[in-house]
């Protein structure tokens, strides 16, 4: 990042030091007029104490949690009339107005009524924890423990899926496979569309296809699924730019804010859990078909039938009658190898998981420790006929487990979270997580030896020498062993300092470090030749080692005031710094020695390395006013500089504005018994996605040029770069409302959003030149996403021994490319990018057919194919109901 860009951010806002300087400004007389508030928070129905309840003094920075006995103590509380509020998960808030006398302790006991849907629920925002009713945009909170207890949750993305309207989670189908997450549609044609993930205040590495050896052709893992769901306390889904503006560049796709479990004061709590299960594939796969010509004269080249190994496919039937390949179909065979126990690659997998958690502590120190071990073997297997083939060809007595069961995952996770209250004004917390995993995946997808292409593209019978597979059989496919070993550490520290009742500072810092080893091994004489560059039967080994560092530093200060009995103010100013550093070393060896599995045993070696660094420095300010605890207006601004921006582009600014209005608290609102609360909300904001780390940079390659008839060393462009490259910028409007009805048994949320992304990056084709690149990324596109979201929660039965809840999520999204800057449609095999149509829309040439001679066979001359492709559908579902 250049100094000019750093300076532009430095002078964008007053620094947090301004707030620090105000500490000494407060007159001594004011500081002396302070007292203490203490008391107890209980369950209104049972009278039992509520541990971990959140108690605040409205209009100040004072926040504490109750201990195991439900007791709390707030100090120093400003003298005069104040409002004390208590809230807890699953309960409605309770408030009490009292007068604080200087030097004295006021006792306030609060009883909370059970209320599963409350606007006083606390959610995590970019400037800290806030009550839901204070936030003008929708934020969905997922209480992870209750979801894990009730459902079959194996990964983090399982927790998110079907629990937040407008969030599309496409889960993988194999052990360890990735999950794709889209929030309110797809925003970019060229950049990452995944949300940002924040864990305990720091950004984490969240690559969706995390592998350097099988990004195409197999299903590499997603790094977010390294996290253990049983260690998570809550997930807040921040959906779009109207809510994520202050999270800065890269937050336009939404933010997933994760809070891990913490200790609660009181006795030590032990939790032991275990899981055992089987994995099966219950899909129905299509049959493979093949056409034939049957005749008594099998010596004629034009005649064919399964017994003589010659097939009659559609393309042959339209050839000239004199063509040796011409034939006439009169029969069709079909075969489904997935239904054949001797040929099917599907078997029964096994999963086991064991965990131990311990938590507790005192009012001064609280702790949560967790350990989990997971082992899963997928359902893919080498079928019996392939095993027999290997035993015979290799002259061995058994096949290795890596090839018999090519898909498996083993993972260990250890977590330690500690919180300490050093004094009433200072508390600190540390969160650490170490993860170690080993994964193996088979080639299954867009790959020459891919399982699906060979299993589904067979000849419609098993007499082709491959037992019904197209070209390669599982004994050849699974001979290629693709693996990944990961060691990962996520550590963060948080410090809170409240020098006065109205001022609070918060500092968060941490690192996510991942060491990843990707391997691809074909032993000598075990793999088949599937490339033209070298003899694969001679064996090869690829060993790629990558180190990922994601650093986070966040510091902000918040000043809270009660301006008068009706009006409160909350001002937050802060700075953030992110750095991402990736180092990759690649080593490949071909022509392995017999039985060898190491790089040094290869005859031909190749090496490569790369380093990618990305930095972001941002500053933000937010001002919120609250009127009579029912109307909240917030405005904010963030400025970012990023090392990926072009040298001619200095900084980007992201504004936001939101309004939240609990209209049911107004005297004029109808006081019908079946309506408990109604809130109206609206927000507008902007955020962005940064270009690739090297997209703006110009690169060169060495070459040879002829000058005066002699060869000379020279260079050519390998990438032109773009000095004016900017982040993609998304602007979003959001409007909606919430209502709780029927004694808080029903909760309804409705939202409409309109999001437009401009400066979208598109690879523009350049005029012909003397070699070098043919495209360059430019900010010339625009993309639109519009939609509605609905959430309904119903408590159907609420008895002491039995409860029954029903949740319904529904969402509609329409996505289209609004502008491509004059670039013609980008056409792929089945998808294309075209103005007026969705990103990655599906296009096909439609066809019709008619069995004209009524013989039950469709021949080529009975099929009509359109001249051009037409749009047939969206890549992502437009409607979702769960």
Asked if residue 551 has pLDDT above 90, the reply is yes
Tokens (6 digits) for 600: 């040094």
The confidence band for 380, taking pLDDT boundaries of 50, 70 and 90, is very high
Asked if residue 13 has pLDDT above 50, the reply is no
Asked if residue 857 has pLDDT above 80, the reply is no
Asked if residue 171 has pLDDT above 60, the reply is yes
What is the reported pLDDT for 709?
78
- Percent of the chain, pLDDT > 70? 93
What is the reported pLDDT for 535?
58
What is the reported pLDDT for 296?
45
What is the reported pLDDT for 55?
92
The confidence band for 531, taking pLDDT boundaries of 50, 70 and 90, is low
What is the reported pLDDT for 357?
97
What is the reported pLDDT for 250?
86
Residue for token pair 């606390």: 122
What is the reported pLDDT for 603?
81
- Residue 217 in any domain: the answer is no
Q: Name the E strands within 672-819.
A: 675-689, 699-707, 710-719, 728-741, 746-765, 775-799, 802-819
From the CB of residue 492, how many other CB atoms can be counted at a distance below 10 Å? Answer: 24
Mean pLDDT, range 20-35, rounded to an integer = 52
- Percent of the chain, pLDDT > 90? 51
pTM as predicted: 0.89
- Residue 211 in any domain: the answer is no
Q: Are strands 34-43 and 110-112 parallel, antiparallel or unpaired?
A: parallel
**Rounded Cα–Cα distance for residues 492 and 508 (Å):** 7
**Rounded Cα–Cα distance for residues 857 and 855 (Å):** 5
The confidence band for 769, taking pLDDT boundaries of 50, 70 and 90, is low
- Residue 312 in any domain: the answer is yes
Higher pLDDT, 151 or 868: 868
What is the reported pLDDT for 4?
43
**Which of residues 335, 357, 372 is at a domain's end?**
335
**Rounded Cα–Cα distance for residues 153 and 461 (Å):** 40
Phi, psi of 156 (to 5 degrees): -60, -40
Mean pLDDT, range 557-568, rounded to an integer = 91
- Per the prediction, the chain carries an average pLDDT of 87
Mean pLDDT, range 414-419, rounded to an integer = 97
The count of C-alpha atoms lying within 13 angstroms of the C-alpha of 19, restricted to the half-sphere facing its C-beta, is 25
**Rounded Cα–Cα distance for residues 242 and 816 (Å):** 20
- Burial group, residue 377, by CB count within 10 angstroms (0-12, 13-18, 19+): buried
Indicate the number of domains in the chain: 2
Residue count (the chain): 882
Asked if residue 338 has pLDDT above 60, the reply is yes
pLDDT, tens digit (0-9, with 9 covering 90-100), for 226-256? 999 999 999 999 998 888 888 888 899 999 9
What is the reported pLDDT for 450?
87
Asked if residue 29 has pLDDT above 80, the reply is no
What is the reported pLDDT for 770?
56
- Residue 830 in any domain: the answer is yes
What is the reported pLDDT for 271?
96
Tokens (6 digits) for 771: 């070699």
Nearest residue to 39 (alpha-carbon basis) of 85, 6, 89, 7: 85
Residue for token pair 């990618």: 612
Instruction: Judge contact between 50 and 93, C-beta under 8 A.
Output: no
Tokens (6 digits) for 362: 């005192």
Asked if residue 616 has pLDDT above 50, the reply is yes
Asked if residue 306 has pLDDT above 60, the reply is no
Contacts of 741 (CB under 8 A, 6+ apart): 674, 675, 676, 747, 748
Nearest residue to 306 (alpha-carbon basis) of 455, 456, 459: 459
**Rounded Cα–Cα distance for residues 115 and 123 (Å):** 16
**Which of residues 335, 361, 392 is at a domain's end?**
335
The CA dihedral of 22, 25, 30, 32, to the nearest 10 degrees, is 100
What is the reported pLDDT for 21?
47
CA 799 to chain centre: 37
Nearest residue to 176 (alpha-carbon basis) of 406, 383, 489: 406
- Residue 625 in any domain: the answer is no
Tokens (6 digits) for 857: 């066979």
Tokens (6 digits) for 125: 């925002």
pLDDT, tens digit (0-9, with 9 covering 90-100), for 800-842? 778 888 899 999 999 999 999 999 999 988 999 999 999 999 9
**Rounded Cα–Cα distance for residues 240 and 496 (Å):** 28
Asked if residue 32 has pLDDT above 70, the reply is no
The confidence band for 693, taking pLDDT boundaries of 50, 70 and 90, is confident
Higher pLDDT, 457 or 575: 575
DSSP 194-256: PPEEEETTEE----SS--SS-TTTS----GGGGS-GGGEEEEEEE-SHHHHGGG-BT-TT-EE
What is the reported pLDDT for 135?
92
Q: Which domain holds residue 292?
A: 288-335
Higher pLDDT, 8 or 824: 824
| Most confident among 205-214, 410-419, 791-800 (mean pLDDT) | 410-419
What is the reported pLDDT for 333?
83
Asked if residue 309 has pLDDT above 60, the reply is no
Nearest residue to 753 (alpha-carbon basis) of 767, 725, 732, 774: 732
Residue for token pair 């074909």: 522
pLDDT, tens digit (0-9, with 9 covering 90-100), for 116-139? 778 888 888 877 788 889 999 999
Tokens (6 digits) for 796: 């159907």
**Rounded Cα–Cα distance for residues 452 and 680 (Å):** 50
What is the reported pLDDT for 774?
79
Tokens (6 digits) for 680: 């109206």
């Amino acid at each position: 990042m250049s100094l000019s860009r750093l300076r532009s951010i430095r002078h964008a806002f007053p620094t947090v030091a301004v707030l620090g300087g105000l500490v000494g400004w407060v007159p001594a007389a004011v500081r002396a007029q302070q007292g203490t508030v203490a008391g107890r928070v209980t369950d209104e129905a049972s009278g039992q104490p509520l541990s971990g309840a959140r108690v605040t003094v409205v209009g100040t920075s004072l926040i504490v949690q109750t201990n195991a006995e439900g007791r709390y103590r707030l100090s120093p509380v400003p003298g005069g009339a104040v409002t004390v509020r208590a809230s807890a998960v699953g309960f409605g808030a309770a408030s009490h107005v009292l007068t604080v006398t200087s030097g004295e302790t006021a006792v306030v006991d609060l009883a909370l009524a059970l209320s599963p849907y409350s606007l006083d629920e606390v959610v995590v925002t970019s400037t800290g924890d806030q009550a839901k009713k204070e936030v003008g945009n929708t934020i969905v909170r997922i209480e992870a423990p209750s979801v894990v207890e009730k459902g079959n949750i194996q990964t983090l993305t399982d927790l998110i899926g079907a629990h937040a309207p407008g969030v599309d989670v496409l889960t993988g189908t194999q052990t360890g496979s990735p999950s794709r997450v889209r929030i309110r549609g797809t925003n970019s044609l060229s950049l990452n569309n995944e949300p940002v993930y924040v864990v305990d205040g720091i950004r984490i590495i969240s690559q969706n296809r995390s592998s350097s050896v099988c990004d195409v052709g197999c299903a590499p893992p997603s790094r977010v699924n390294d996290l253990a769901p049983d260690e998570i306390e809550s997930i807040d889904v921040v959906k779009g730019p109207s809510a994520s503006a202050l999270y800065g560049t890269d937050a336009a796709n939404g933010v997933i804010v994760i809070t891990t479990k913490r200790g609660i004061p009181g006795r030590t709590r032990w939790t032991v859990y275990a899981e055992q299960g089987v994995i099966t594939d219950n899909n129905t796969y299509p049959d493979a078909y093949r056409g034939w010509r049957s005749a008594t004269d099998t010596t004629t080249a034009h005649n064919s039938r399964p017994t003589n190994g010659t097939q009659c496919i559609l393309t042959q039937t339209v050839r000239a009658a004199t063509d040796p390949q011409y034939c006439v179909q009169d029969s069709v065979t079909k075969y489904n190898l997935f239904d054949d126990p001797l040929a099917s690659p599907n078997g029964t997998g096994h999963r086991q998981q064991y965990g131990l958690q311990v938590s507790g502590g005192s009012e001064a120190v609280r702790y949560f420790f967790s350990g989990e071990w997971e082992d899963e073997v997928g359902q893919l297997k080498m079928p019996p006929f392939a095993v027999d083939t290997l035993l015979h060809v290799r002259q061995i007595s058994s096949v290795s487990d890596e090839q018999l069961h090519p898909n498996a995952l083993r993972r260990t996770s250890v977590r330690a979270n500690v919180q300490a209250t050093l004094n009433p004004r200072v508390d600190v917390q540390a969160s650490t997580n170490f993860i170690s995993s080993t994964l193996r995946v088979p080639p299954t997808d867009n790959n020459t030896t891919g399982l699906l292409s060979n299993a589904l593209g067979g000849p419609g019978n098993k007499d082709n020498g491959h037992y019904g597979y197209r070209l390669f059989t599982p004994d050849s496919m699974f001979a290629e062993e693709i693996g990944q070993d990961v060691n990962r550490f996520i550590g963060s520290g948080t410090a809170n300092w409240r020098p006065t009742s109205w001022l609070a500072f918060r500092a968060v810092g941490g690192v996510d470090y991942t060491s990843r080893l990707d391997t691809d091994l074909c032993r000598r004489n075990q793999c088949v030749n599937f490339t033209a560059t070298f003899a694969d039967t001679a064996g090869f080994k690829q060993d790629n080692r990558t180190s990922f560092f994601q650093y986070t530093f966040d510091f902000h200060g918040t000043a809270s005031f009660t301006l008068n009995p009706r009006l409160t103010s909350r001002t937050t100013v802060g700075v953030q710094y992110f750095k991402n550093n990736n180092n990759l070393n690649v080593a490949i060896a071909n022509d392995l020695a017999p039985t060898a599995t190491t790089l040094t045993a290869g005859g031909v070696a190749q090496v490569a390395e790369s380093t990618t660094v990305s930095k972001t420095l941002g500053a933000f300010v937010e001002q919120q006013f609250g009127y009579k605890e029912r109307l909240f207006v917030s405005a904010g601004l963030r400025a970012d500089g990023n090392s990926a921006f072009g040298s001619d582009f200095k900084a980007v600014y992201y504004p936001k504005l939101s309004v939240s209005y609990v209209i049911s608290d107004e005297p004029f609102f109808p006081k019908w018994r079946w309506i408990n609360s109604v809130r109206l909300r609206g927000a507008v904001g902007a955020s962005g996605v940064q270009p690739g780390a090297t997209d703006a940079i110009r690169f060169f390659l060495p070459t040879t040029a002829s000058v005066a008839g002699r060869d000379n060393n020279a260079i050519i462009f390998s990438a032109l770069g773009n000095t004016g490259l900017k982040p993609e910028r998304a602007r979003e409007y959001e409007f909606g409302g919430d209502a709780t009805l029927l004694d808080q048994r029903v909760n309804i949320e409705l939202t409409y959003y309109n999001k437009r992304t401009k400066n979208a990056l598109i690879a523009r084709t350049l005029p012909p030149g003397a070699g070098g690149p043919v495209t360059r990324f430019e900010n010339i596109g625009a993309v639109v996403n519009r939609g509605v979201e609905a959430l309904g929660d119903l408590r159907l039965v609420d008895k002491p021994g039995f409860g029954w809840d029903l949740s319904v999520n529904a969402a509609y999204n329409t996505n289209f490319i609004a502008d491509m800057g004059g670039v013609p449609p980008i056409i792929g095999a089945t998808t294309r990018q075209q103005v007026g149509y969705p990103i990655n829309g599906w296009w096909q040439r439609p066809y019709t057919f008619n069995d004209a001679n009524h013989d039950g066979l469709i021949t080529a001359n009975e099929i009509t194919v359109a001249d051009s492709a037409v749009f047939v559908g969206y890549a992502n579902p437009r409607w979702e109901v769960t």
